[in-house]
Structure formats: structure tokens, C-alpha cells
Amino acid sequence: MGMSMHITAIREEDEQYRKMAAAYEACQAAGVSLPKEVEDYFDDAPPSGGPAVALQTFGKDKHRAVSEYKGDMEEGFTVDLRCLPERTVKLRFYCVW
């Protein structure tokens, strides 16, 4: 059995987040394109499951903030803090077996 590492950015669920999530969900339900402001806010990571944004998950492309790191007898990821989604307050790193 293999192991995969995941990285999630966690936003503060403030009023701005709730408004943007409501706009996103309304557009999805109506089958219309997202306004650029809403699209930029979520940075290609839909607001499913609260204010967490998956940066890297097994079997999916990595977010632009994440790059692979390989050193002598070690490997992992580097997170460019400048590229994190707006209002990120925490990063969660976890492994799945």
C-alpha cells in the first residue's frame, strides 16, 4: 500500500467568503459562467466543504503554489506563500495510506 501527501489551505470563513461561496453556488445551480471576481477569489478551487482549498491531492494537478521537492534521500513539496489563495490563515499537511 502506498502513501500520498496532501496539502490544504484553510481560509477564514468570514462574511466575504460566505458571499463569494453563495455567488459561486448560485452560478453553478443556474448553469452560468462565474463572474471573474468569483473565479479569481476561489482560484480554481471550488468552495466545497467549507473554507478549505486543496493545494495538492493524490491524483489531481497541484495548485500553482506547490512544487515538488527532491533532495538526497528525501522528497516532498515546497509551498510558495506568495501564491496561496487570498485570506489563507492556515496550511494543513497530511498523509494518507
Contact 9, 52 (CB under 8 A): yes
DSSP structural state of residue 35: P
C-alpha 85 chain-centroid distance: 7
Tens-digit pLDDT profile for residues 11-58 = 778 888 889 889 999 999 999 999 999 888 876 667 766 677 766 665
Pairing of the two strands 66-71 and 52-56: unpaired
3-state helix, strand, coil in the chain (%, to 5): 25, 35, 40
Q: Is the pTM of this model over 0.85?
A: no
pLDDT of residue 29: 95
**CA–CA separation, 95 and 4 (whole Å):** 6
Average pLDDT over residues 71-82: 88
